Amino acid sequence: MIKKTYLVSPGPVPIPEDALVEAARPIIHHRTDIFSGIFMEVAEGMKYVFGTKRDVFILASSGTGAMEAAVANLLSPGDEVITINGGKFGERWGEIARAWGLNVHEIVLEWGQPFTGEQLAEELKKYPKAKAVFATLSETSSGSVYDIKSFAQATAKTDAVLVVDAISGLGATPCPMDEWGVDVLVAGSQKALMIPPGLAYIALSEKAWKLTETSTLPKYYFDLKAYKKSLGKKTTPYTPAITLIIQQKKTLEFIKKIGLETLFEHHRILADATRSGVKAIGLELLSKIPGNIATAVKVPEGVDGAALVKTVQKKYGVYIAGGQSHYKGKLFRIAHLGYMGAFDIITALSAVEMALDEQGYKFEMGASVKAAMEVFRREWK
């Protein structure tokens, strides 16, 4: 049989055809007026997605590079910080902070459990010397979205800055930087921004910029003062990822044409359909605070989770994701992120059903697809 592949992982995501074409065009030099014009269009366009009037800096790295840049530019050795660890990527904040010699107060949550602004306020009272709180908007390892707005309300009453990993969430779920009072927001290109991996984005509030003046952690490639100076010259301090920036220009045009509110609603509908589908065949979600980026589903008893994901990927060509860390083999994750549509979800659910059936799991074949179709029929506009 001819086998097509389908990408329904939480990054990288499918890329619009118009953006794919840009990668095939002859490359241009980055120290030219032509590229400077494209570069500045992307830098300005990212302000729309970030919901900010602040400068947005473009880094040639994965999103983790922007996370590390946030730590290195704000803090000094021994500084106290709070990290909120509700999954693999919240855990990463603590790992980066410790690597840079910070004094980390880590809040470890059960994966998929909520954490409120009121709880954060209590932690800030316990650690009044904390200079920063590191949080995650969308924790893709558990399929959760956290209440960043309430976190910002808590940090606003203190000297601590709120630093948010919005790598998978930006563009898929609301997180307006200026309106909510987020101090540092970081993002990556391979999620709802709909281009390949390789670009990271970071913006800082005035409160955060004040911390950069006293930071003594070493920095070179990720020195944001250098990026700020170069942005004034319509360029970057080091060689940029030229083709990716050109592709980002194309997808930003697409995002602006659709509008952020419409894009958020699109992700909600795909998420509703996915959740309705898996519940219709008796499966359970991991998260108590599920988001519209990815759905983490518990593998039913008697089913080999690792084999399930392998079958869906290798036999049926549908690239769902497995569980991470202590949930490896116990979860599978279907993303509904970026340039995906209704039939990506229907395809993913169909493949999961066939793989479950192969392992003897008892359910009504087609029930997940039917439930998802009902959502799409009701919501399709």
Work out the average pLDDT over 75-83. Answer: 98
pLDDT of residue 202 exceeding 80, the answer is yes
What's the topology of domain 17-257?
Aspartate Aminotransferase; domain 2 (3.40.640)
pLDDT-above-70 percentage for the chain? 100
- For the segment 284-306, what is each residue's pLDDT rounded down to a tens digit? 999 999 999 999 999 999 999 99
Work out the average pLDDT over 135-158. Answer: 98
Chain mean pLDDT for the chain:
97
- For the segment 323-362, what is each residue's pLDDT rounded down to a tens digit? 999 999 999 999 999 999 999 999 999 999 999 999 999 9
- For the segment 229-245, what is each residue's pLDDT rounded down to a tens digit? 999 999 999 999 999 99
- pLDDT score, position 3: 86
pLDDT of residue 64 exceeding 90, the answer is yes
- pLDDT score, position 171: 97
- pLDDT score, position 2: 86
Before 26, cis peptide (omega within 30)? Answer: no
- For the segment 27-42, what is each residue's pLDDT rounded down to a tens digit? 999 999 999 999 999 9
- pLDDT score, position 229: 98
Work out the average pLDDT over 165-176. Answer: 98
* Pairing of β 331-335 and β 321-322: antiparallel
Residue ranges of domains in the chain: 6-12+259-379, 17-257
Query: Tokens 């990927």 map to which residue?
Result: 313
- For the segment 244-297, what is each residue's pLDDT rounded down to a tens digit? 999 999 999 999 999 999 999 999 999 999 999 999 999 999 999 999 999 999
Work out the average pLDDT over 200-213. Answer: 98
Domains 6-12+259-379 and 17-257 fall in the same CATH topology: no
- pLDDT score, position 77: 97
CATH of domain 6-12+259-379: 3.90.1150.10
- pLDDT score, position 29: 96
Model pTM score: 0.97
Distance CA 114, CA 289 (A): 6
pLDDT of residue 381 exceeding 80, the answer is no
Work out the average pLDDT over 48-67. Answer: 98
Work out the average pLDDT over 132-150. Answer: 98
Work out the average pLDDT over 145-157. Answer: 98
For the chain, give the secondary structure using H, E and C. CCCCCEECCCCCCCCCHHHHHHCCCCCCCCCCHHHHHHHHHHHHHHHHHHCCCCCEEEEECCHHHHHHHHHHHHCCCCCEEEEEECCHHHHHHHHHHHHCCCEEEEEECCCCCCCCHHHHHHHHHHCCCCCEEEEECEECCCCEECCHHHHHHHHCCCCCEEEEECCCCCCCCCCCHHHHCCCEEEEECCCCCCCCCCEEEEEECHHHHHHHCCCCCCCCCCCHHHHHHHHCCCCCCCCCCHHHHHHHHHHHHHHHHHCHHHHHHHHHHHHHHHHHHHHHCCCCECCCCECCCEEEEECCCCCCHHHHHHHHHHHCCEECEECCHHHCCCEEEEECCCCCCHHHHHHHHHHHHHHHHHCCCCCCCCHHHHHHHHHHHHHCC
Band of pLDDT at residue 152, cut at 50, 70 and 90: very high
